[in-house]
A and B are shown apart, each in its own frame.
Chain A
Amino acid sequence: MASGTVEMATGAPELAAERAVTWPKRTKARLSNGLEVILAESHSIPKFHGELFFRSGNAAVADRTPGLAEMTATLVRTGTAKRVSRQIEEELRRLGADLSSNAGADTSALSFAGLSEFAAPLLEMVSEFAREAAFPDAEFERERRQKLEEVKLERTQPGFLASERLRRVLFGAHPYGQVSPSEAQVAAYKREDLQAVYRESYTPENALLLLVGDFDSQEMLKTGEKIFGAWRGKKPTAKTFAAPPNPRGRRVYLVHVPGAVQTQLLLGCHAITRQHPDWVRLGLTNSLYGGAFNSRLVMNIREDKGYTYSPRSGVSALREHGYFSVSAAVRNDVVAASLTEIFYEMDKLRSVPVSTAELADAQNYLSGVFSMGLATQDGLLSQLSTVALNELPDDYLETYRQRVRALRPEDLLATARKYLDSANMQIVVVGDRAQIEQQAMLFGEPEFYDVLGARV
């Protein structure tokens, strides 16, 4: 850092003995129709949280058109064989419930929370959405029109424009390469296409029901069998996709937003999935690089230089591929300076082993934050869903901390060299071309794009 030595605090109390972290018992079952169920009790509040996942998302139907699973999920809560939209929304409120339906690249999901005293009727409604969605014509037309406005609007958000470009660069024609449909694609959506996706994907054999909260697991299992047991449906056939591109060398992609008063930087390279044996060590390397407030990147370009408010790095894991990325929204006149520091910190981690003290700090951070999932029902649900959807070992939660703590400086050095792929980093720069082009060119021959995603 430019400021040289870092002063330490004097007199801070030592940490007391660590209290054991005990993850709650999980009850796992497979219902007679093939539906996988995972339950965990958490009695902190008289509520419960749940998700009904389907292991098919936008990628599985991308060969038809992008965003189709997302649109299907949107429609699912707008009408069923038993109820029209208004009745659905009022009934959910009567149960004190929140419910959303959406789809990502790899899964579709109904996410819900409600009072435990009304658990059974809420699950009845979830079952209704999963089995008896009616896709009313008028609802479809309205939601399609809404979606058209949404896809126009997202093109005015620098963060969206950056991630759209990076995903395209890293994944090309692979379904992961298109994060959102175009206006023309939305305009061409057909109700029948959504119904086909629904029939294929929303089946018990393709589903996972996760519930966390204030209930008795054995009773809840009986309730689940009663509500979901008669549902039938096969697992859809798995799709295979062509390998994504593997861009070599640093390249710059400048998305021109006229009048932008700040520049959104987003850099990325291919990395790994959650199942990869290097996942934990990459997580630790990332938290040290730019994944925590106390990380090197944040301390450098925010706390030392004041270039940005919100620098961050992260590892995004999709089912088939993963990628490492670094983002920062910076002042227009420090685009080159920020990129220089981003690469400086990356190359430093790739060259010099971290000290054991810094390593211990990062290990404590990662294992402490991981355990915070225990404190809330939805935090716990999120941890359980990560384990289940990625088919991680049953003891993943229990052993995570010891795996983090077993890592050594040489592990991080090797991990940084392997995955913080400085030489092949793809650099997306979203801002006003006239103000940033010269700076961006210092890092590679730029390609230029407009906000519609067209190369110019």
Chain B
Amino acid sequence: MKRLQIAMESTTLANGLKVVIAPDSTAPVVTVGVYYKIGFRLEPPGRSGFAHLFEHMMFQGSANVPKMQHIKLINSSGGVLNGSTSYDVTNYYQAVPSNALERVLWLEADRMRALKVDDENLKNQRDVVKEEVRVNVMNQPYGGFPWLDMPPVAFRNWANAHNFYGDFADLDAADLTDVQAFFNTYYLPNNAVLLVLGDVKAAEGIVLAGKYFEGIPAGAAPQFADPTEPEQTEERHGFVEEKFGTLPAMAVGYLMPKRRTADWCAMALLDQALHGGRAGRLYRDLVLEKQIAVEADGGIDDVFGYNGPTQMTTRILHKPEFTNETALAAFDLVIREVLENGISADELEQLKVKWRSDYYATLEGGRGGYMPKYGLMHLLACFTLFDNEPQLVNTILEGFLNVTREEIQAVGRKYLRKEKRAIVLRNPVKAGSASGAHAKETA
């Protein structure tokens, strides 16, 4: 078995900014990312969607870089860029020919030091974000299903339960004061990690990080709201109308262990046993064998990168001649089978090989093929911000490869319980669909 070792060097600057350099001269390309330890989970109450709207504002201008110039300077250096907001982190990243490294560091440092935006910028990006929500959610079949539909059903703490893309009224209510306050609170060097990966020497990367970022003043350590959920003791249910789609849909989510606890590795492999593509038990049973479902997929989203209550979620689109109840009963049988009998030694071996193979793929690419080393950047960032241990990238695999059959069965029995899950139905509103009395049972 060939093992992959990632060379890296890390340090913390005097202002608290963590820095990780991972040199690799395969291609004359360097990927630079800055991760801030704030996502949409802990955005301000009454300001749903704000963390994401704020992410857009980070491209609208900083002290020495007027609106549009960050994008222009990256593109005209031969590079690509983007940012994204997730539950617990927000990232900004670019891949550029390595001769643009200093330019990129300067740009990221400028917007970490001082945002410079006005009302016109905010109005503009509020409009852009609304069209983003329409194109991805409101004007699409099954838009936002289940990632936006599940949280309000599954969770009780606002942090985990609110609309992460944002209610439009909340987006409209956000003003420049909110923008500046959010920046001042969370966008601090001591709440961030800088990552430089690819065509750079380790020592050079550390020196350049100091050159551009050292002078940015640290701020008071952010006080984070508590995302803890009250203990769940009953199965939870929700219903959402599907406006465009033709098939009944269902999502089932189970609360997961905290990441990097003893149960976490076994649960991740059990997730793969259930959801791992066409060989996964759910797809095999519901789509290939019983042929109740047209789609059955899902899993633990961003298994290395969550830092609060998280579910393993299965998403099922099923044929209209079956009821939701029939589809759920078939789903339950798959779960019961694994709880009663566990998985075979052979299945576990397959899962481990596939896990290792997928892990390598994540390290190399991991984002649509256009952003080299996105996956490695993301892992290094999460291991730094949450664990203060970027070297985990080279050792974390062991824990998954050592999981036993007994552990898998045990975590199944512990976490895949009805009183720890939530179910959301999203059935078409159109006539002729399967919802309610029109459903015909053939199974």
Contacts and interface: CB of A to CB of B under 8 A. Distances in A.
Interface string A1-17: 00000111111111111
A136 B177 CA distance: 64
A116 B74 CA distance: 35
B372 interface: yes
B365 interface: yes
Contacts of B102: 13, 16
A146 B131 CA distance: 32
A113 interface: yes
B276 A8 contact: no
A152 B433 CA distance: 12
A115 interface: yes
Contacts of B71: 293-294
A382 B356 CA distance: 24
A364 B134 contact: no
A310 B136 CA distance: 11
Interface in A266-324: 292-294, 299, 302-310
B360 A45 contact: yes
A155 B78 CA distance: 38
Given A15-B100, A19-B199, A302-B128, A375 B139 contact: no
A93 B132 contact: no
Interface in A362-410: 362, 364-365, 367-369, 371-372, 374-379, 382
Q: Which of A261, A330, A368 has the most CB of B within 10 A?
A: A368
B78 A368 contact: yes
A307 B130 CA distance: 10
B135 A45 contact: no
A142 B246 contact: no
A74 to B, nearest CB: 12
Contact of A9 (B64, B350, B360): B64
Interface in A332-379: 360-362, 364-365, 367-369, 371-372, 374-379
Interface string A67-103: 0000000000000000001100110111111100000
A16 B99 contact: yes
A433 interface: no
B65 A9 contact: yes
A46 B26 contact: no
B369 interface: yes
A156 B246 CA distance: 8
Interface string A141-158: 010011001101100111
Interface string B272-314: 0000111100001001100100100000000000000000000
B95 A372 contact: yes
Contacts of B284: 86, 89
B67 interface: yes
Contacts of B98: 16, 19
Contact of B279 (A89, A305, A308): A89
A375 B125 contact: no
Contacts of A307: 127, 131
Nearest to A22: B28
Contact of B364 (A262, A306, A365, A377): A377
Contact of B131 (A13, A44, A86, A331): A331
Contacts of B361: 45, 47, 113
A11 B62 CA distance: 12
Contacts of B276: 93
Interface string B73-89: 11111111100000000
Nearest to B320: A149
Interface in B106-124: 106-107, 123-124
B131 A309 contact: yes
A14 to B, nearest CB: 8
B227 interface: no
B69 A8 contact: yes
B379 to A, nearest CB: 14
B1 A117 contact: yes
A6 B68 contact: yes
B354 interface: yes
A168 to B, nearest CB: 21
Given A15-B77, A85-B288, A93-B351, A150 B294 contact: yes
Given A149-B246, A377-B364, A114 B135 contact: no
B349 A94 contact: yes
Contact of A364 (B76, B245, B360, B373): B76
B78 A367 contact: yes
B72 interface: yes
A21 interface: yes
B247 A375 contact: no
B279 A117 contact: no
Contacts of B79: 365, 368-369
Contact of B26 (A18, A44, A331): A44
Contact of B97 (A145, A309, A368): A368
Contact of B81 (A18, A262, A293): A293
B25 to A, nearest CB: 9
A94 B353 contact: yes
A306 B124 contact: yes
A130 to B, nearest CB: 19
Contacts of A95: 353
A259 B284 CA distance: 36
Contact of A261 (B124, B139, B370): B139
A13 B78 contact: no
B244 interface: yes
A232 B351 CA distance: 36
Contacts of B101: 16
B141 interface: yes
Nearest to A381: B369
Given A9-B65, A45-B4, A378-B369, A308 B97 contact: no
A7 B364 contact: no
B294 A364 contact: no
Contacts of B73: 9, 12
Given A13-B103, A44-B26, A379-B372, A259 B243 contact: yes
Q: Which of A7, A90, A153, A376 has the most CB of B within 10 A?
A: A376
B84 to A, nearest CB: 14
A427 interface: no
B141 A157 contact: yes
Given A329-B139, A375-B198, 18 more contacts: A11-B106, A12-B65, A14-B103, A19-B99, A44-B26, A46-B360, A96-B354, A97-B357, A113-B361, A115-B353, A115-B360, A142-B291, A309-B132, A368-B78, A372-B27, A372-B29, A372-B370, A376-B364
Q: Which 7 A-B residue pairs are closest in the complex by CB-CB distance?
A: A368-B78, A96-B357, A306-B127, A361-B76, A375-B372, A294-B75, A19-B28
8 contacts: A9-B73, A13-B106, A90-B279, A96-B356, A260-B139, A309-B131, A365-B78, A368-B96
